[in-house]
Amino acid sequence: MAISVNTMRAIDHWVGVPLCALISPLVALVDGIKNVFTGDTQKPKKLLFIELSEMGSAILVDPAMRNAQARGAELYFLIFKSNRASLTLLNTVKSENIFTIDSSSIGGLIKDTLSFLVLARRHRIDTVIDLELFSRFTALLTGLCGARRRVGYHIFHGEGLWRGFMLTRKVHYNPHIHITKNFLSLIHAAFATEIEVPFSKIQIPDSEVRLEQAVINPSALDAVRHRIEKLAKDADIAFTSGKERLILINPNASDLLPQRRWAQQRFSELIQAIHQRYPQDLILITGSPAEMNYVEKVRSVANVKNALNFAGQVSFAELPPLYTLSDVMVTNDSGPGHFSAVTPLRTVVLFGPETPALYGSVGNSIAITANLACSPCVSAANHRKTPCQDNVCMQAITVAQVMDKVSHQLEAADKAKGR
């Protein structure tokens, strides 16, 4: 049986805090002995990033990883096995340097955790960067992996979020700048020649936040194009890729934060509005294979001939070709909003419990948020868990608002494609 998000949060707190308290003195003792003999002077050569649970973060951290790579470090990455595919969109980290932990069961979690601690030492990882926001589990992995230089976010004088003394370089997490800049501040701390308290006393210009574009295999592009055209033909829809527009609707969001979901009914109404204004264009409603029934409900309620259930029709590796062929995507604040940023696709992303100021897509994206007094209600301070059971912040976003931004993005897409 898969471990639920709430169970993992409970384990992280009730097991993680005591373990951090027990292990911190041992880690401090080992650090003290090492400082006597070697100190912390060597530049990072083998640098490990730890980001387990958020697939979108594997894209948002890419500018930081390339920054470290440009400084001469060989990159490694630790991620949950179920999220590994997100690292293949840009292939910044070599496949053989990606470590995974199976989170589908307690037994698999323990087994892979112990295996990782052995592998990290075998590969002689000298620097580790904990990208997670105050997770005790990743703090323990950081402290026990054998790396001499350990970088991550530290609470300093704040209350709560305590996770021991696993870090040798403590970085102030700034909730007022985009997460990509927060990640870049970790790189500065990892390579700094002098200790700062706190790290990182630097200015990070917007120009540093540059995302590479995915390299699209022409045969993969053709395969996805032919699949879409066949699906349209089977549904008796006249569609030629490149002539009629291709509009994607991604109505679901992960179970990590279900409050991010705009209502199924609203997505159905949006599909109707898009079809009314652009009757010749094809609308694909996307999702994973497990989301097929969810997507089908959105499609059936919309009851628009030109809107097709496309859930499970492409593999994760085929997302960049799909996004390259498409003109606009509307999505909840979830992985696709970030995955599409490695392509030219224009997106409209709907935000509620999160804020686009911190987690907005770095692609050709427009964010919509209601800016309620209670938003954002999830943050690093509450481990992204909200008491809210009535996501008024998402309900407040209207179909007319989204439609206005869709039209704007379609006009920009038409201009870019000379259509």
| Residue given tokens 């079809």 in the structure block | 275
Contact yes or no for 225/282 (Cβ under 8 A) = no
Amino acid 1: pLDDT = 52
One digit per residue, pLDDT tens: the chain, 419 residues?
567 888 888 999 999 999 999 999 999 999 988 887 776 778 999 999 999 988 889 999 999 999 999 999 999 999 999 999 999 999 999 999 999 999 999 999 999 999 999 999 999 999 999 999 999 999 999 999 999 999 999 999 988 889 999 999 999 999 999 999 999 999 999 999 999 999 999 999 999 998 999 999 999 999 999 999 999 999 999 998 888 999 999 998 877 788 999 999 999 999 999 999 999 999 999 999 999 999 999 999 999 999 999 999 999 999 999 999 999 999 999 999 999 999 999 999 999 999 999 999 999 999 999 999 999 999 888 888 899 999 999 999 999 999 999 999 999 999 998 88
The token pair that represents 137 in the structure block: 């589990």
Which pLDDT belongs to residue 286? 98
Name which of 257, 254, 253 is nearest 378 in CA terms: 257
Instruction: Give the whole-angstrom CA distance, residue 360 versus residue 60.
Output: 10
Token representation of residue 28: 């401090």
Q: Are 160 and 381 in contact (CB under 8 A)?
A: yes
pLDDT of residue 306: 97
Amino acid 39: pLDDT: 67
Q: What is the pLDDT of residue 375?
A: 94
pLDDT of residue 309: 98
CB atoms within 10 A of CB 206: 10
Q: Report pLDDT for 2.
A: 65
Strands (E), 180-302: 246-250, 282-285
193-206 per-position pLDDT tens digit: 999 999 999 999 99
Measured from the Cβ of residue 398, the count of other Cβ atoms closer than 10 Å reads 14
Angle formed by the axes of helices 106-122 and 136-144, nearest 10°: 30
Integer distance in angstroms from the first to the last C-alpha of the chain? 50
Domains of the chain, start order? 5-208 (3.40.50.2000), 218-416 (3.40.50.2000)
Nearest Cα to Cα of residue 8 among 313, 398, 373, 384: 384
- What distance in Å separates the CA atoms of residue 255 and residue 269, rounded to the nearest whole number? 23
Give Cα 98 distance to the centre of its chain: 17
